[in-house]
Amino acid sequence: MNKPRCGVPDKEIDLNTAVVNISANLQQSKEVRRRKRHLAALVSKSRRKRDLGETGYMAFSKKVLKWRLIGEGYSSQLTVEEQRYIFRLAFRMWSEVSPLEFVEDTRSPLEDIDIRLGFGTGRHLGCNQRFDGTGQEFAHAWFLGDIHFDDDEHFTAPNAGSGISLLKVAVHEIGHVLGLPHIYRPGSIMQPSYLPHESVFEMDWMDRKAIQHLYGGCKGRFNTVFDWIRREKTPYGEVVIRFNTYFMRDGWYWLYENRNNRTRYGDPVALQIGWRGVPLDGVDACVHVWSRKRDAVYFFRGTQFWRYDSENDGVFTQDPEGHRYPRLISEGFPGVPSPIDTAFYDRRDSHIYFFKNRLVYAFDVEANSLARGFPKNIRDVFPPVVSGDHPDGNIDAAYFSYTHNAIFLLKGARFWQVVGSRDRWRWLFLPRNGLLPHKEVDQHWFDICNVHPTALKLTR
């Protein structure tokens, strides 16, 4: 029996080699690049010329792409709303792991739509490749263009438990449109044969690497980054400490799973969903004061700050000490200016470090006042290890990572790691709190990718 399969041909190209090259060798040779371009030409019968992407490999040259389910191409098996919902989800999955954003466009002239999707049977939609009835080919895609689904197949919604998952097929075909070949690796969404699946599926590591090889990693400035510590009970009654890292940008956030070194499936999420009561369009900083005596989470924005009630999952209007929120920063943290650029709590000395322009204000939480000698110049507190390699001030975020046991300063797409005591035992010449040479954020924290605001989840 022939298993249901995608209709995009492989030809004689050794795809395994191409795929290995995608993962193992980002600096690929001209030879491989030429071969892959050839592959792209084979996969494509693109009707329109498109720009070559930055990588030299055929790919969309813009980051925001429009898609539409065309009116004459609705499926007879699912409601139009279901179909559009599934496609929105499929595009969203690619935008979660690449710098691309997708927006459904039901108004512009058809020729302005980058990706057009439609269902048909046999001869369909003016396409030059017929569908083959029930079984075998379930869909095909034209490189950088159209996606057709064989409506003689039994397409179903996610979690239906039977039939062929339209979501899975759509994610696969979109992968082709974006420039990916078949990937012969268990778990990859780009395998040519349809495999019945568990109710939830995620983008495989290889799929992420493959799309980022074409379009690059996700870059962008963050409003703030912080670790949130939670005491949780395991099913065996054991108390464990978990720390997740949160990255915030404008009105949304990502939860970074340090264990898996990637963001949570389905992120980003609107702030209003995860952090009830904090300013909807973003915060300047978040600080988790976590010591034997205290466990308090604060959000800072402008001249004000809020305390977060993790028990009730929302900001306090009044906290157990009787303070009402929002409060003025100048009231809660005397001596600290506002607005601030960012702040973090250092558990080792129980100080909150506030940053503004080029100055650092260390605040002694127990004494409720600035530490002696502060404010200080950021270069005096965090001197560069390599002269000249320093953010200088106006940083976006600073956070103490419990996973890395290190402080990080972020500015734009770059970050600087602060030398820890361990590093100084090994390399005696390193200055205390020195900033190691910068690196790119997307090389250290993977897949923190924007989705188009229209695809932003407003419910959990």
Shortest Å, Cβ 443 to Ca ion: 21
Positions of E strands within 82-129: 101-104, 115-120
- Per the omega criterion (within 30 degrees of 0), is the bond before 279 cis? no
3-state helix, strand, coil in the chain (%, to 5): 20, 30, 50
148 contacts Zn ion (rule: CB under 5 A): yes
Write the binding mask 134 to 173 for Ca ion: x where contact by CB under 5 A, - elsewhere. ---x------------x-----------------------
Segment lying near Ca ion (by CB under 5 A), choices 69-77, 211-219, 239-247, 337-345? 337-345
End-to-end CA distance of the chain: 41
Residues in 247-306 that interact with Ca ion by CB under 5 A:
284
> Is residue 396 a contact partner of residue 224, using CB atoms and an 8 Å limit?
yes
Of Zn ion, Ca ion, none, which one sits near residue 8, judging by CB under 5 to 8 A according to partner kind? Zn ion
Is 323 marked within a binding site? no
Is 351 marked within a binding site? no
Separation of alpha carbons 230 and 143, rounded Å: 46
Write the binding mask 363 to 402 for Ca ion: x where contact by CB under 5 A, - elsewhere. ---------------------------------x------
Segment lying near Zn ion (by CB under 5 A), choices 142-150, 211-219, 248-256, 395-403? 142-150
Catalytic residue list contains 104: no
Is 190 marked within a binding site? yes
Of Zn ion, Ca ion, none, which one sits near residue 342, judging by CB under 5 to 8 A according to partner kind? Ca ion
DSSP-assigned letter for residue 380: H
Label the pairing between strands 351-356 and 359-364.
antiparallel
The residue annotated as part of the active site, out of 96, 101, 137, 173, is 173
Shortest Å, Cβ 424 to Ca ion: 28
Separation of alpha carbons 305 and 354, rounded Å: 13
Q: Which is nearer to Ca ion, 213 or 411 (CB)?
A: 411
Of Zn ion, Ca ion, none, which one sits near residue 6, judging by CB under 5 to 8 A according to partner kind? Zn ion
Segment lying near Zn ion (by CB under 5 A), choices 71-79, 124-132, 248-256, 426-434? 124-132
Q: Which is nearer to Zn ion, 32 or 127 (CB)?
A: 127
CB atoms within 10 A of CB 447: 23
Is 309 marked within a binding site? no
342 contacts Ca ion (rule: CB under 5 A): yes
Of Zn ion, Ca ion, none, which one sits near residue 284, judging by CB under 5 to 8 A according to partner kind? Ca ion
- Those residues whose C-beta lies under 8 Å from the C-beta of residue 174, and which sit 6 or more positions away, are 90, 91, 94, 115, 141, 147
What is the Cα Rg of the chain in Å?
A: 25
Is 132 marked within a binding site? yes
75 contacts Ca ion (rule: CB under 5 A): no
Is 204 marked within a binding site? no
Taking phi over 0 as left and psi of -120 to 50 as alpha, with beta for the rest, 138 belongs to alpha
Q: How far is CA 40 from the centre of its chain?
A: 27
Positions of E strands within 37-161: 64-69, 101-104, 115-120, 137-141, 146-150, 155-156
What is the secondary structure of 155-204 as a DSSP string?
Answer: EE-TT--SSEEHHHHHHHHHHHHHT-----STT-TT-SB-----S-----
The per-residue b/e assignment along 358-381, b for 16 or more CB within 10 angstroms, e otherwise, is bbbbbbebeeeebbeebbeebeeb
6 contacts Zn ion (rule: CB under 5 A): yes
8 contacts Zn ion (rule: CB under 5 A): yes
395 contacts Zn ion (rule: CB under 5 A): no
Q: Which of 98, 212, 224, 304 binds Ca ion (CB under 5 A)?
A: 224
Q: Which of 82, 104, 132, 319 binds Ca ion (CB under 5 A)?
A: 132
The per-residue b/e assignment along 176-195, b for 16 or more CB within 10 angstroms, e otherwise, is bbbbbbbbebeebbbbbebe
Is 172 marked within a binding site? yes
Of Zn ion, Ca ion, none, which one sits near residue 150, judging by CB under 5 to 8 A according to partner kind? Ca ion
Which residues are catalytic, by number? 173
Residues at the binding site are 114, 124, 132-133, 140, 146, 148, 150-151, 153, 172, 176, 182, 190, 284, 343, 396
Residues at the binding site for Zn(2+) are 124, 140, 148, 172, 176, 182, 190
Please give the residue ranges that form the binding site for Zn ion (CB under 5 A): 6, 8, 127, 148, 192
